[in-house]
Amino acid sequence: MYRSLLYLNVKPGKVEALIDWYRDVDSLGKAVELVGCVATEIYPLPDEPNCLLVTALWRGEGDYQRWVDHPYRKRLTGGINEFLDDSFTESSKGLLLTSILSAPN
């Protein structure tokens, strides 16, 4: 399995608006529906009030790349940038980790 980690540096005061935006565009649901993402979640970082962590579980590295390349995700780039301190591009992606041990197998 593969786990992607995407850190989002959010403009001050925009965290709740960004979470609402994620709900409205259903980005997490679309990753599962369109490219076979197993599961995905958003976490607040306890010591970083203006940072969110988006994680996703993928069966293969190619599944994550299909999401990065998917036209639906690319269309979201302009919308997400209104909430972020850092520019998000159509090809932006997070850190992809490969599992070496898991349970249950």
Residue 87: CATH number of its domain:
3.30.70.100
pTM of the model: 0.91
Q: Is residue 55 part of a domain?
A: yes
Q: Compute the distance between CA of residue 86 and CA of residue 55 in angstroms, rounded to an integer.
A: 18
Domain that holds residue 8: 2-98
Q: Is residue 26 part of a domain?
A: yes
Residues 6+ apart with CB under 8 A from 41: 28, 54, 55, 56
102's tokens: 């898991």
Q: Is residue 103 part of a domain?
A: no
Q: Is residue 105 part of a domain?
A: no
The string of pLDDT tens digits covering residues 41-95 is: 999 999 999 999 999 999 999 999 999 999 999 999 889 999 999 888 888 899 9
Report residue 105's pLDDT band, with 50, 70 and 90 as the boundaries.
low
The string of pLDDT tens digits covering residues 24-42 is: 999 999 999 999 899 999 9
Strand, helix or coil at 42?
strand
Q: Is residue 54 part of a domain?
A: yes
